Chains A and B, each alone.
Chain A
Amino acid sequence: MNRIAALVFAFLVVLAAPAHAVQPDEIMADPAKEARARELSRELRCMVCQNQSIDDSEAPLARDLRLLVRERISAGDTDKQVIDFLVARYGEYVLLKPRLERQTLLLWLLTPLALGGGALALWLQNRRRLKLASADGDARLKLSPDEEARLEKLIAEQAPADKPQ
């Protein structure tokens, strides 16, 4: 119940407060490190917000996380170490781009599967229709027994008429 209240509250705060993410006092002295921090911040979720990265969010938690990311970077962590550290602390939920794991298999594979499956279905259908069409064509060229009989009759009728008497 508390968590719901916290979420609702966070939601209200996010809506109410003008979004004003990175504050001037947070920025690191080294521009290269700051750029890395910004890059990482965009991939991390502000956990009390509705679909906002910590880079965009105004919530106090997002600020804490931004400072934490910068702290890890100045301690000399690589990007991967920073991410691992945050996941160990806050769980997978903190990642805006989930890692490929057993439970996210379908999420990542759906796009290639849909594309491949769709293309395959189209190819099969095209082949089937071409086959049908050519089979249809063959059938149309052959005369049915009825038509054969009619043709015979017509020729038979025509033949005596042609003979000059």
Chain B
Amino acid sequence: MIAEAGHYALVLALALALIQSTVPVIGARLRDPALMNVARSTALAQLLFVGLSFLALVTLHVTSDFSVANVYENSHSLKPLIYKITGVWGNHEGSMLLWVSILALFGGMVAAFGNNLPLSLRSLALAVQAWVSTAFYLFILITSNPFLRLANAPIEGRDLNPVLQDPGLAIHPPMLYLGYVGFSISFSFAVAALIEGRIDAAWARWVRPWTLMAWIFLTLGIAMGSYWAYYELGWGGWWFWDPVENASLMPWLAGTALLHSAVVMEKRNALKVWTILLAILTFSLSLLGTFLVRSGVLTSVHAFATDPTRGVFILLILCLFIGGSLSLYAWRASALKQGGLFAPISREGSLVLNNLLLTTACATVFIGTLYPLGLEVLTGERISVGAPFFNLTFAPLFVPLLLAVPFGPLLAWKRGDLLGAGQRLFAAGGVALVTIAVLWAWTRGGSAFAPLAIGLAVFVIAGALTDLAERCMLFRVPLSIAFRRARGLPRASWGTVFAHAGVGVALIGIVCESTWNTELITTLKPNDVAKVAGYELKLDNLAQRQGPNFAELLAHFTVSEGGKTIGVMTPSKRNFTTRAASTTEAALMSRGVSQLYISLGDASANGGIAVRIYHKPMVLLIWFGPVLMAFGGLLSLSDRRLRVGAPKPAKASRSLQPAE
């Protein structure tokens, strides 16, 4: 009954989406406010019905209704409650339902909070949003229905993939989808603006908070996924340049570029055509990511060819939306007026450089991810493109980008003074050089690259602080006045400082972890002691333990430093009986921002066990960086300017204009 209700609610949502995708467009053509307002109510009703459908699936999973195929295949009655809930999106059908739910959520939010938008823009944007949702509702209903029943209900389910039975699953996919799908709003607004043929600085101001929100979620989602892989997969890696990761990195790179170019558009009314293109590309890359992950094409081109229904369907959606929006762009972009001249050395110029480097980085990830697929389809030849390729091509693009980051905020709009900015960055550069010199002396004979990279990171952080000091005139006015100025700064400026510093912080973590990581692979018997990076780890005992739906082998380590015990670590290996699969649960111990990491291997015949022990210096900074960036984004989002909303354009331009 619940399954059927959920299915029916989804069909109703599809019907509402169909209304929402047509009626407001007609309304905008006829300039009929009543017809245009249909978009608002349908978007809210759609959210209600998709929400009901999603709740229905959650209920089925929580109550372990194994007569539903999706529940049978991905759940188990003994599974802890939290994994029963998160298991809803731990599979293909459920994750697509989460995808459309979030799409409907964003549509509903535009409908509910978009009161300051011009009526025609809002209804057209919601109509475009409904085109996307229609396509994905059809995809779910036709190829991936999560509510299918089984003729003979089994007694027990097949359990969720053990790797996914982790709190990470509760946070990572929803965050990632909030980011991915959030970019649909900027896409819809871009397409609506192209249809209307009218775009101005106010447009950028309406779209920026939505883009920023999506970007914050995507940043956190990627960081969270990386940390999850780090502790769950058991070999201490945190980024693998896996196509699935690349699929989320591409929209992030394009979205970061979009955020920056939208600033130029908002403040200076320039780069309009480019910003529109970026908005389209960012969401297109989100769609591409969905295709890559959901079609099975990554597992193997052949797997895709043997069961093509899902893959071909998403490929069609992909071609339709990307092709359609880019054609519309090619057709209408010339009608948009360019505005705002600027010299190459200016704030605008620095943001253009940022865009150039970020989009090139994005193109590099794009080609590296898709080239092997393309080559195999075209010539049948198989090549691999992995981490060594990306490290070699991607990293050089970030060096000039990071060097330029501190200069950007110090340059004036329109025409900047590079020499002046350089002088103000004197202290930051000095700190960076001293850092390089000290590290060089300290790690004599070691990698020459690491001190330089850390120097660059310090330059970025010090540069962000310089920007802050300049803005509140620290050291040039009495401290109390500087303090008052700091409090009076717009939150967006604080956001810039935090986000830019976050990039530097993450870089320090990345460089330290990959350069000075210590690793010990060995076999230990009870009472053996392993020494890693000044720590002594004694294996006390090995024990068996029974969990709710698994059995685990637990190793008990006592960690001491200089003869003093500082704690215990208990890595384990879990065996999940239902799926006959096992996972490693690495044990982590944080020492400041560095970590000790133990993961277990196979037990050997003589009563010992294989272990991998790592000391990872500064490793936590890799994830603190993105958290700082997201915090910066949040500060910027809470800026009064965005909170209060965009100023209403002058009366004349508010009256509805026909699309030219």
Contact = CB atoms under 8 A, between A and B. Distances in A.
Interface of A: 3-4, 7-8, 11, 15-24, 27, 42-43, 45, 50-53, 56, 91-98, 103-104, 106-108, 110-111, 114-115, 118-119, 122, 126, 129, 133
Nearest to B523: A24
Interface of B: 161-163, 233-235, 237, 240-243, 298-300, 302-303, 306, 338, 341, 344, 352, 356-357, 359-360, 363-364, 367-368, 371, 375, 379, 381-389, 392-393, 397, 521-523, 573, 579-584, 599-602, 610, 612
Given A19-B584, A51-B243, A111-B360, A8 B382 contact: no
Given A94-B384, A97-B389, A7 B302 contact: yes
B228 to A, nearest CB: 14
Contacts of A52: 240
B524 to A, nearest CB: 9
A42 B382 contact: no
A19 B235 contact: yes
Most A Cβ at <10 Å: residue of B299, B522, B580: B299
Given A51-B242, A53-B387, A133-B341, 16 more contacts: A7-B303, A15-B161, A16-B162, A18-B583, A18-B601, A19-B235, A20-B599, A21-B235, A23-B610, A42-B388, A43-B388, A96-B389, A110-B367, A111-B364, A114-B364, A115-B360
B389 to A, nearest CB: 5
A42 to B, nearest CB: 7
B82 to A, nearest CB: 21
Nearest to A52: B240
Contacts of B367: 106-107, 110-111
Contact of A20 (B303, B581, B601): B601
B579 to A, nearest CB: 7
Contacts of A97: 385-386, 388-389, 392
A112 B241 CA distance: 20
Contacts of B386: 45, 51, 53, 96-97
Contacts of B161: 15
A8 B298 CA distance: 12
Given A16-B582, A18-B582, A115-B360, A107 B385 contact: yes
Nearest to A7: B300
B344 A111 contact: no
Contacts of B584: 18-20
A45 B352 contact: no
Given A51-B240, A111-B364, A45 B384 contact: yes
27 contacts: A4-B300, A15-B161, A16-B580, A16-B581, A17-B581, A17-B582, A18-B584, A18-B601, A19-B233, A19-B234, A19-B235, A20-B584, A23-B602, A24-B521, A50-B299, A51-B386, A56-B240, A97-B388, A98-B389, A107-B389, A110-B367, A111-B360, A111-B397, A115-B357, A118-B360, A122-B356, A133-B341
Contact of B387 (A21, A24, A96): A96
Nearest to B393: A111
Contacts of A110: 363-364, 367
Contacts of B298: 50
A47 to B, nearest CB: 8
A157 B235 CA distance: 92
Most B Cβ at <10 Å: residue of A17, A18, A108, A115: A18
